Amino acid sequence: MNDIRFALRQLAKAPGFAVIAVLTLALCIGANSAIFSVIHAILLKPYPWPGSDRLAYVYNTYPKMGLPNAGDSIPDYLDRRGITGVADSALYTRVSLNLTGDAEPEMITGMRATPSLFSTLQSAAALGRVFNEDDAKPDAPATVVLSHALWKNRFASDPSIVGRAVRLNDRPVTVVGVMAEDFYFPSPRTQAWVPFAFTPAQRGDNERGTEYSQMIVRLKPGASMEGVQLELDLVQARNAERLPGSRDFWKTSGFDGRIAGFLEQNVQNVRGMLWLIQAGVAAALLIGCANVAGLLLARAVGREKELAIRTALGASRLRVVRMLLTESLVLFLAGGLLGLFVAIWSIDALQGVGLSTLPRGFGVRLDPSVFGFTLACAAAAGMVFGAMPAWSASRDNPSASLKEAGGRGSAGRRTQRLRAALVVAEIALAVMLVATAGLLIKSFDRLQRVDPGFVPAGMITAQVALPPARYDSPERIVAFHDAVVARLGSTSGILSAGATDSLPFSGLDSSGSYSSPDIVLPPGAPEPHAMIRSADPGYLRALRLTLLQGRWFGDTDTAATQPVVVVDRVLVDRYWKGQDPIGKRIQRGNGGKLAVVVGVVAKVKFRTLEESSDKEAIYFPLSQLPQPMLMFVARAQGDPAALAASVREAVRAVDPNQPVFDVRTMAQRMDDAAQPRRAPVILLSVFGGLAAILAMLGVYGVLAYSVAQRTSEFGVRMALGASRSDIAALVLKAGLLLVSLGIAAGLAGYLALSRLVQTLLYATPSTDPAMLASASVALGLVALGACLLPALRATRVEPLAALRQD
């Protein structure tokens, strides 16, 4: 305790030093803690279900058809739920539920799940009960379990809601339970769960390949992923033996069942990006700590006389080290505590960067584990970076130090080498950060220049989910669509309007196998598989798709006329290269009618701008393939966001009980899709800039202190005839040597880790010579600027005054 009080008094005597050191540490430790909060919430924190580490996905894969994860069919689920390594399992699929009644119509995100979902998650209802096997019979009365948020916000936390009927998708549904406040599945956006009822037809083998659901399993204690995978292989082998008609298709498509950890599967696309950001902020922390260690070294050298007197009076070397180490620990812990406030502010700022939109990003917050990490980080940094100057100072010869009393102390070659090594390390880390940030900026710029296949500017979009109880026939769906599009087309400010079931960057997708008498497949080739779209005549004009050949759909393409399709260039290049595709025939699935190809459009980017273009797309007229899930799109004459109310009114005018949701501009959708790439660009750019500033301060500090220590030497040199330019060159040479060593070490370190960066780059090599050279030159110029002031100060040394100091 005495050491702590003494450390506080000593730091109070040097407030400028203490403030600079604490602020540097607070900034670096706070940023590190904020990013770790993201890492913890997304990658490390377990799900809020007991034993969540034993939960896993089981899914179908068709690697030869370009479908690494195709979900599950009901027969596959029934086959696999009896695997011996599985304790419990469930099948679920996302559904949109229109909630109507006394209040405003609202679309809620629902989940259709087998009753075993809640036992698989080992979770019970907080109010009432979850649904059971009787609720999941096809002829059972409709039931629903509400989320706590929906119960609170829509029904004012009314406990009598259990047993009452609410209106979902235009039919009465009985509420049987409300889940606990901390329960969610698969994300907090899910507001209700309804039973997944299997009809006898859905349980049959003909349903295989209808894969719109997900399967989750809980492994038995002691069971392994590898063991379950072996059992999945056995199940598939038995099915191949039992169903010879499917055997060839399974072989050519590479069909198999796979298992993957629930957490790993959800975060696999962002894991590398998050760890790279954490590495970047950790590098900035190390640079900041190295700067503070340099300041501590300089401070310890300035206290040589004091330390020599203490040693001469009997203080042991260990006692001196403990005293200096206590000061550094107090300094670093103060920086850590202040860093908590920086972390709180930083987490709020991260919302704007978009990290909260990542999988599990909703849980980002400062919790006890993050507080512990911050304090541990501060303590570890204080021990490591405080031990170096303390140990160095304790090794000085007390007799020599006392003899120099009244003169300027000398840091000694050992201390100078240590400070120089710290600066070289700072520059090396800064080079690695700046190079990485530069490559990410270049990659992101190239990505933003990619043609999505349509014109996104000026578009407003909206989604509706038509309830099957009211829209129970294709004719009613088409009539609703036609009426809404007609109203949108007559709305002031809208140039064109259309609709589809799968809009680019909407998160909705549909794909399926197809065949054609005009396609000749080589032996062993997989069956053709494409993205399937339904669209109306206005869709081409609203998105401004590029029509390459033939025509788009017209008003004459109806359910009563010849089925037609429009295909994209990928399909044509794959199967009809060098041929005229117009007039070719395509059959959707096994039982569909032959449709005639009437047009060819350019490839459209659908999920992200960086997605590959190896999956073809087939467009069907919405009038011939109507879908209850519709995405309306309108091209605005001015600001598209200003038309949001008009789009809602157009739908409500046709059906007052139909909720309209997900109303966003296309630019907003594309921004959301780009967040996983934008976030590391912004953050690593910030950390790179911070690293460059800290490295510049480190170079300046070393050279400034060196000039102060060598004042007498410079005076002698100038007295013997050295010019001021000679003195400046001497200082600059020392600084540029440190900078050159740091840049070389940084480039070597970056090249050793460049493969990790490559996974986040688009159309940009991780070893791009121009960018690496630019990063090196930029850091070199910054460091040169840091060298100039000490060099200028050295030239102002007056020889006579310098010699008098000795």
pLDDT in tens, 418-429: 778 888 888 999
Per-residue buried b or exposed e for 343-380, using 16+ beta carbons within 10 Å of the residue's own CB = beebbeebeebbbbebbbbebbebeeebeebbbebbee
Q: Is the pLDDT of residue 643 over 70?
A: yes
| Non-local CB neighbours of 225 within 8 Å, separated by 6+ positions | 56, 219, 259, 260, 261
3 state SS of 169: coil
* 60 conformational bin, left if phi > 0, alpha if psi -120 to 50, beta if neither: beta
Q: Which amino acid is at 216?
A: I
Q: Is the pLDDT of residue 101 over 90?
A: no
Q: Decide if 103 contacts 82 (C-beta within 8 A).
A: no
pLDDT-derived band of residue 605, with 50, 70 and 90 as boundaries?
A: very high
CB atoms within 10 A of CB 167: 18
Q: Is the pLDDT of residue 628 over 90?
A: yes
Q: Is the pLDDT of residue 313 over 70?
A: no
Mean pLDDT of 258-278: 91
Q: Is the pLDDT of residue 659 over 90?
A: yes
Side-chain half-sphere of 39: how many Cα atoms within 13 Å?
Answer: 20
Peptide bond just before 680 cis, omega within 30 deg: no
* 182 conformational bin, left if phi > 0, alpha if psi -120 to 50, beta if neither: alpha
Q: Decide if 622 contacts 536 (C-beta within 8 A).
A: yes
Q: For residue 559, what are the β-bridge partners?
A: none
320-324, 389-393, 749-753: range with highest mean pLDDT = 749-753
pLDDT of residue 1: 64
- The closest alpha carbon to 643, from 522, 542, 793, 786, belongs to 542
What are the strands, taking DSSP E only, across 444-568?
459-465, 494-500, 511-515, 529-535, 547-550, 564-568
Side-chain half-sphere of 292: how many Cα atoms within 13 Å?
Answer: 35
pLDDT-derived band of residue 290, with 50, 70 and 90 as boundaries?
A: confident
Residue 786 tokens, joined: 């840091």
Q: Decide if 108 contacts 192 (C-beta within 8 A).
A: yes
Which 8-state DSSP code applies to residue 84?
A: T
Mean pLDDT of 691-697: 85
Q: How far apart are CA 747 and CA 289, in angstroms?
A: 21
Per-residue buried b or exposed e for 595-614, using 16+ beta carbons within 10 Å of the residue's own CB = bebbbbbbbbbbebbbeeee
pLDDT of residue 223: 95
Mean pLDDT of 688-703: 83
Residue 91 tokens, joined: 């099948």
Q: Decide if 550 contacts 484 (C-beta within 8 A).
A: no
- The closest alpha carbon to 600, from 613, 578, 619, belongs to 619
370-384, 402-416, 453-467: range with highest mean pLDDT = 453-467
Q: How far apart are CA 526 and CA 519, in angstroms?
A: 12
pLDDT-derived band of residue 121, with 50, 70 and 90 as boundaries?
A: very high
Residue 331 tokens, joined: 């300094």
Q: Is the pLDDT of residue 527 over 50?
A: yes
Alpha-carbon distance values, 430 to 286, 314, 434, 451, 742 (Å): 10, 43, 6, 34, 9
| R_g of the chain computed on alpha carbons | 34
Average pLDDT, the chain: 87
**How confident is the model over 775-795, as pLDDT tens digits?**
999 888 888 888 888 888 777
Alpha-carbon distance values, 479 to 73, 474, 510, 535 (Å): 32, 9, 23, 14
pLDDT-derived band of residue 409, with 50, 70 and 90 as boundaries?
A: very low
Q: Decide if 289 contacts 381 (C-beta within 8 A).
A: yes
- The closest alpha carbon to 638, from 457, 455, 458, 456, belongs to 458
Mean pLDDT of 57-73: 93
pLDDT-derived band of residue 408, with 50, 70 and 90 as boundaries?
A: very low
Q: 3-state DSSP helix/strand/coil percent for the chain, to nearest 5?
A: 55, 15, 30
Q: How far apart are CA 132 and CA 135, in angstroms?
A: 5
Crossing angle of helices 666-709 and 711-719, in 10° steps, is 60
Q: How far apart are CA 31 and CA 278, in angstroms?
A: 10
Mean pLDDT of 84-97: 96
pLDDT of residue 308: 61
Q: Which residue has the higher pLDDT, 327 or 532?
A: 532
3 state SS of 566: strand
Mean pLDDT of 285-294: 83
pLDDT-derived band of residue 649, with 50, 70 and 90 as boundaries?
A: very high
Mean pLDDT of 8-12: 71
Task: Among 647-651, 759-763, 790-794, name the one with the lowest average pLDDT.
Answer: 790-794
pLDDT of residue 411: 45
> Which sequence spans correspond to the domains of the chain?
52-265, 467-657
- The closest alpha carbon to 455, from 618, 667, 662, belongs to 667
Q: Which amino acid is at 183?
A: F
| Residue the block writes with tokens 């598989």 | 529
Q: How far apart are CA 72 and CA 163, in angstroms?
A: 33
pLDDT of residue 389: 59
Q: Is the pLDDT of residue 804 over 70?
A: no
Q: Report the percentage of the chain scoring pLDDT > 90.
A: 55
Q: Is the pLDDT of residue 395 over 70?
A: no
Q: How far apart are CA 103 and CA 108, in angstroms?
A: 13
Mean pLDDT of 653-668: 94
pLDDT of residue 317: 61
- The closest alpha carbon to 445, from 610, 604, 605, 281, belongs to 610
pLDDT of residue 803: 57
Q: Is the pLDDT of residue 501 over 90?
A: yes
Q: Could you tell me how many residues make up the chain?
A: 806
Per DSSP, the chain holds a count of helices (H) and strands (E) of: 23, 21
Mean pLDDT of 121-145: 95
3-class DSSP string for 636-661 = ECCCHHHHHHHHHHHHHHHCCCCCCE
Mean pLDDT of 286-311: 71
21-25, 177-181, 319-323: range with highest mean pLDDT = 177-181
Q: Is the pLDDT of residue 294 over 80?
A: no
Task: Among 126-130, 241-245, 704-708, name the one with the lowest average pLDDT.
Answer: 704-708
Mean pLDDT of 118-129: 97
pLDDT of residue 357: 75
Q: Is the pLDDT of residue 797 over 80?
A: no
Give the Cα-Cα-Cα angle 567, 571, 577 (nearest 5 degrees): 115
3 state SS of 640: helix
Q: Decide if 307 contacts 393 (C-beta within 8 A).
A: yes
Alpha-carbon dihedral sign for residues 118, 119, 125, 131:
positive
Q: Is the pLDDT of residue 414 over 70?
A: no
**How confident is the model over 202-250, as pLDDT tens digits?**
999 999 989 999 999 999 999 999 999 999 999 999 999 999 989 999 9
* 222 conformational bin, left if phi > 0, alpha if psi -120 to 50, beta if neither: left
Q: How far apart are CA 613 and CA 462, in angstroms?
A: 26
Residue 61 tokens, joined: 């894969």
- The closest alpha carbon to 235, from 251, 253, 258, belongs to 258
pLDDT of residue 312: 62
Side-chain half-sphere of 224: how many Cα atoms within 13 Å?
Answer: 3
